[in-house]
A and B are shown apart, each in its own frame.
Chain A
């Protein structure tokens, strides 16, 4: 895998400390050092480009691991207990997908499981695989291909929307059955929050730079 990363060709100037383009409008900007709390904006379209943080990769990785750990009980523990006339039903996160599956809507069931459960896990695992080597001081280009998948995972990972849907369902059926939140719900909320913070803190360009730095330098005159 590492051998297949080509050196930059003479067709382009060499990256590294060079200018950065705004992903939204393409405007080039010189790199600036951001202090904690600073936010850099595109001078042409006004999009937010980067954000300065006081702490480093370790803290981001800590949020990622928090999310990853919470993902397990969020999926194993019940999220809601419904009681009705002596019957009690405990629902898991996957219950929604099973419900649609049993109702003969397998594709929508897969979509629900993907967006609420699978994609967040894939995103958190990718973050771990990318940040782990950086934090351990052994950056390697081996995991770099994961960067290509981050955007897709992030696009379909919407645990916070699933969470809101559960809360809406809660209020909707609250008058019909005795409804009690269960521990899994808090774990899912924690996972969604940790994932959100990790994604905000994760600087894709800097991570790729940290992982690929040797190979890029190899091709530079």
Chain B
């Protein structure tokens, strides 16, 4: 058994801590020390599942209505991307597509791979999966782009009846999906990828 305790708040390493020390406060910063985050797999999977469910209304419901010079247009995330593409702004369309559609999907697929590998234990791809975990944690936050975009357009484009922008319920679902997937990646513990696995009967060394 791994006797190392590592404080995720102040990065203190206790290389040889007795198992009883698990769950006690860090001697340096008082954050709770965990050999592995408690119930990491269950918590993370629950958040990921909730995020997956929220992604459905997030993509089906409209996120924005623009009222520009008498022409009203209601868009979902995908139709917004296509509208940008049709207007010749393919670079912007690509940015929004990656942040709002590709990143959430990549995150959920990656989380599925992590859960599978952590549950089985001793995955041959655990090095790559650990790198993927770090990457997914880093890019996950860029999904907030669409929420910020709708927020800013709503606030900035206010010219009475001439031009206005309104948010639609899809934004709430999308923000919820982003939050839930962030919680999912945060509650997962990538050290589980290097353990024996949740379903192995403590195999003999």
Q: Chain A residue with minimal CB distance to B10? A: A208
Q: Chain B residue with minimal CB distance to A115? A: B144
The contact string, 1 if C-beta is below 8 Å from chain A, for chain B 9-40, is 11111111110110001011111000000000
Give the distance to chain B from A79, nearest Cβ to Cβ, in Å.
Answer: 9
25 interchain pairs, CB-CB under 8 A: A4-B30, A12-B14, A12-B27, A13-B16, A13-B17, A15-B12, A21-B13, A25-B193, A26-B6, A80-B156, A85-B159, A97-B155, A99-B158, A99-B165, A100-B154, A103-B154, A144-B10, A161-B145, A164-B95, A164-B145, A169-B152, A176-B68, A204-B9, A208-B10, A208-B11
Tell me whether A71 is interfacial, beta carbon within 8 Å.
no
A13→B3 CA distance, assembly (Å): 11
Binding site for A on B (CB under 8 A): 2, 4-6, 8-18, 20-21, 25, 27-31, 68-69, 84, 87, 89, 92, 95-96, 126-127, 130-131, 133-134, 141-142, 144-159, 162-163, 165-167, 171-172, 175, 179, 182, 186, 190-191, 193-194
Question: For B126, what are the chain A residues with a Cβ–Cβ distance below 8 Å?
Answer: 25, 45
Tell me whether A136 is interfacial, beta carbon within 8 Å.
no
The tally of residues in A whose CB lies under 8 Å from a CB in B reads 75
In residues 154-188 of chain A, which contact B (Cβ within 8 Å)? 155, 158, 161-162, 164-166, 168-169, 171-173, 175-177
Contact A47 B134 (CB under 8 A): yes
A130→B127 CA distance, assembly (Å): 34
Known interface pairs A161-B144, A173-B157. Does A148 touch B29 (Cβ–Cβ under 8 Å)?
yes
Known interface pairs A89-B159, A161-B142, A172-B89. Does A24 touch B190 (Cβ–Cβ under 8 Å)?
yes
A216→B10 CA distance, assembly (Å): 13
Contact A112 B148 (CB under 8 A): yes
In residues 107-150 of chain A, which contact B (Cβ within 8 Å)? 107-109, 111-112, 115-116, 144-145, 147-148, 150
Q: Chain A residue with minimal CB distance to B165? A: A99
Contact B162 A84 (CB under 8 A): yes
